[in-house]
Structure formats: C-alpha cells, structure tokens
Amino acid sequence: MLRVSVGGLLLCSSLLSCRSSRSIDPSSPESLVNAYVQAQQATMQAGAGEAEVEALLAFLSDSFVYEHPRAHATIAGKAAYAEGLRHFLGSTRRTQIRVVSTLVNGGVVVTNQTLSFQVEREGAWQDDGRSQVTVFDVEGGRIARIVDFWQPREGAGP
C-alpha cells in the first residue's frame, strides 16, 4: 500500500506550482531562491491565501530566521514567520518582483531586487515599491536564513 504524508504532498505541490519554465534543482541554492521569490510574489497578490503561504513555507527550514536590520527585527522560527506572512495577506496587490542581479557563493545567495506593488491607504490603492538586497543562507536544500536590506522607493508611500 502506498503511504504519502500530507507534508510531502504540500511540498510536492508547492515545488511544482512555484516553478518557472526551468525546473527547480534541489542541489542549486540559486534555483531554490528563484522559486522562493516567485512564491513570495504570489503571497503579495490580492487573492493570496493559505495555499500561497504554505507554498512559500515549503522552501524554508524549520529553524528558519528572518532579519531586517533597518527595522531592528528578527523573526525566529518558521511558524513565527508564517504568522507574519498571514498578517499581511491582502494588504498588497499587483506585485511584481524583479531580480536585477544575483551573486552565489556556495550556500549563500545575494539578490538585488526591485519590487513594485499597490498598497491600500485611506481606502484607495496607491502605487508603491522598493529596492532591496536580500541575503539567503541555504542549508540542506532549504533556506535557513534571510536578511533583508531595503528602503522605500523615493516618492513611494510613508
């Protein structure tokens, strides 16, 4: 009898739904990060929900840590990060994440990205965005740590 775990099914469906025209190479940190960025973009769309959050979480280790030095923020643990993601669902739409450049050194992937999106302020959707540099530490085929360095685009929201 074939036995399949729910976690295995979620991971499988997440990897398949987030892949681009190229397959995800589990031995390639860059491929993993590219798939994560696609999943991140999906969580920032108007209709995003639990399925998008779970797809994103599939790329993270259980001991995942997120850091945002400018905000003096550290989120330790995959569950805590998931809670933060769920809090922001529906707050943005029309999100486009463009990876401008990527540097890879072993299990460290650094991306330079531009994000454009709309955010609701005072009952109206307004254009917003930012540029950011993100450092991904990949261990054992999963993202173990993300450090985000970003600031709003000049002229974009508060």
Backbone angles phi, psi at 28, to 5 degrees: -110, 110
Tell me the average pLDDT across 71-79: 93
Which of 2-6, 57-61, 126-130 is least confident? 2-6
Q: DSSP strand E in 69-141: where?
A: 73-76, 92-105, 108-121, 124-139
Is the separation of the CB atoms in 97 and 49 below 8 Å? no
Backbone angles phi, psi at 17, to 5 degrees: -75, -20
Helix (H) or strand (E) holding 153: none
Beta strands 92-105; 142-152: pairing state: unpaired
Higher pLDDT: 94 or 87? It is 94
Q: What is the pLDDT of residue 88?
A: 86
Spell out the domains of the chain, with CATH numbers in brackets: 6-152 (3.10.450.50)
Q: What is the pLDDT of residue 23?
A: 56
Q: Please give the share of the chain, as a percent, with pLDDT higher than 90.
A: 65
* pTM (two decimals): 0.78
d(CA 117, CA 77): 27
Higher pLDDT: 15 or 96? It is 96
At which residue do the structure tokens 């499988």 appear?
12
d(CA 134, CA 113): 8
Q: What is the pLDDT of residue 90?
A: 85
Q: What is the pLDDT of residue 27?
A: 75
Beta strands 73-76; 60-68: pairing state: antiparallel
| pLDDT above 80: residue 7 | no
d(CA 60, CA 154): 31
Number of Cβ within 10 Å of residue 19's Cβ equals 14
